[in-house]
Chains A and B, each alone.
Chain A
Amino acid sequence: MILVTGGLAQGKLDWTLRHSGYTAADCSDRLEAAAPILTGLERLVQETLERGEDPGPLLPALLEKEYVLCREVGCGVVPLAPQERRWREETGRLCCRLAKEAEGVVRLWCGLPTWLKGGGS
């Protein structure tokens, strides 16, 4: 699994499609879908929290994916609403755990990739 991160609209999906040779048809934001690319992990975490569930148990299924895309969400002012603080926290922690297990971690910035772990290919 390669974890692809970066801020809003920094080119995560474009890079992933170029790197993998997959197309948009191979992407899904549903974890249960058979697609090799999971997009929008930050939204999945949000939905999980809204259902009152812990996002931690998503980890094994995420590791089964070839690419997991997650927006960086932790660089703003600490939100006033506790549910938003929890969401940033859970998204960030989950990404740390994913990065530990991932074979590669890439950060997109302005469309440019930087390998933080593994890769280069």
Chain B
Amino acid sequence: MVILLLGGSASGKSQWAEGLAVALRRRSGGPLLYLATMAAEDGESRRRVTRHRKLRAGKGFLTVERPVGLMELSLPPGAIILVEDLGNLVANEVFSPEGGGERAVRLGLEHLRRQAKHLILVGNEIFSDGEAWQGEMAAYLRLLAQAQAACAAWSGAAGAVICGIPLWQKRPKESWFEELIKEAEPL
């Protein structure tokens, strides 16, 4: 199953994504992979990384840092993969010298989708600010929107996390999903 979670900065989307990954693993087993796409080059980025590592500690995640080139990543079979986040992935593929552009974003996500037993994607809500973005920034926003819409189309569940509460736009109607989100809810 693919689950897409968007949200603003500090909305609680990561904790939900982690909770869902752990709850899914309890049901289906398999390795639990955290795929970090942020290129942590400055002090602020490293502090974010440290905070996220602390949050994940003890939950059984194997962390893989991969800012670009997800399509070449060899993955264990039957894994539950959490990708955080799509905004960084698209920025790295499009703007960094190592990046492979739009094609690399698409192929990378398709590769993960094929390989993973469950794929949880964390993305960003940055499309309603009314700014007249031009050039590279406008292109970036369109690419991210397209990538996230493609993930939403594949997904079995997709929603935005607001103040730590998920607002589902798409979700299975069955009771197992209700039980899954109850179990996944951050403490």
Asked if A110 meets B128 with Cβ closer than 8 Å, knowing A8-B141, A8-B145, A10-B145, the reply is no
Taking a contact as CB atoms under 8 Å apart, the answer to whether B141 and A110 are in contact is no
Taking a contact as CB atoms under 8 Å apart, the answer to whether B129 and A110 are in contact is no
Q: Identify the closest chain B residue to A46 (Cβ).
A: B132
**CA A35 – CA B142 in complex, angstroms?**
26
Which B130-187 residues sit within 8 Å CB-CB of chain A? 130-131, 133, 141-142, 145-146, 148-149, 151-153, 158, 160, 169-170
Q: Chain B's nearest CB lies how many Å from the CB of A7?
A: 3
Secondary structure type dominating chain B contacts: mixed
Q: Tell me whether A9 is interfacial, beta carbon within 8 Å.
A: yes
Taking a contact as CB atoms under 8 Å apart, the answer to whether B149 and A110 are in contact is yes
Comparing A20-28, A47-55, A67-75, the segment that makes contact with chain B is A67-75
Taking a contact as CB atoms under 8 Å apart, the answer to whether B130 and A110 are in contact is no
**A-side contacts of B152, CB under 8 Å:** 110-112
Interface string of A96-116 (1 = CB under 8 A from B): 000000000000011110100
**CA A84 – CA B131 in complex, angstroms?**
9
Q: Tell me whether A36 is interfacial, beta carbon within 8 Å.
A: no
